[in-house]
């Protein structure tokens, strides 16, 4: 199946996040970390989510896989995100996004045999995967691309495709 809507993951508070509930909305999946040079992107992600929450959901996946930049527990991560950035978009429980213990969502996102679109490697914290309303992968963007980049804003505001990978 080539839709992310097939997945259910554990949320940061232990609740179930069923991706099927996001059908009909565009989605951004991003791996996040609290002690990264890109951590201020939490603020931009929150702004994007707040502005477009009628047609976009963002799901953050904390991971300690890059430079040990997310050493905290789920509780510590959530407290940091709430206190520092007022995050209201969904956060999953901390996961592995590379190596033999790679989470199934990231196996799907990074392997063309699963997502039907492209192979990719998650190179650092805050890499962004953009999906359409049907849960199909559209594009992935490197960590250095701001959540408020014109490419993303154009994709959200007029629904045009954002091109290749």
Taking only the tens place, the pLDDT of each residue in 110-139 is 999 999 999 999 999 999 999 999 999 999
Catalytic residue among 28, 33, 36, 131: 36
Question: Between these two residues, 164 and 59, which has the higher pLDDT value?
Answer: 59
Q: Where are the alpha helices (DSSP H) in the chain?
A: 41-52, 74-80, 104-110, 112-115, 150-158
pLDDT in tens, 154-165: 999 865 444 433
Catalytic residue at 36?
yes
What's the CA dihedral at 23, 25, 30, 32 to 10 degrees? -100
Longest dimension (CA), the chain: 39
């Amino acid at each position: 199946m080539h839709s992310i809507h097939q997945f259910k993951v554990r949320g940061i508070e232990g609740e179930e996040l069923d991706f099927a509930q996001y059908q009909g909305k565009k989605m951004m999946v991003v791996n996040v970390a609290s002690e990264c040079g890109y951590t201020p992107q939490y603020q931009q992600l929150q702004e994007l989510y707040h502005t477009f929450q009628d047609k976009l959901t963002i799901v953050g996946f904390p991971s300690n896989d890059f430079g040990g930049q997310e050493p905290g527990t789920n509780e510590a991560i959530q407290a940091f995100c709430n206190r520092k950035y007022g995050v209201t978009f969904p956060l999953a429980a901390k996961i592995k996004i590379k190596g033999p213990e790679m989470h199934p969502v990231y196996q799907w996102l990074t392997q063309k045999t699963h997502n039907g679109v492209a192979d990719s490697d998650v190179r650092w914290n805050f890499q962004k995967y953009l999906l359409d309303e049907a849960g199909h992968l559209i594009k992935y963007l490197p960590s250095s691309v701001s959540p408020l980049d014109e490419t993303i804003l154009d994709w959200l505001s007029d629904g045009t495709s954002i091109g290749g990978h």
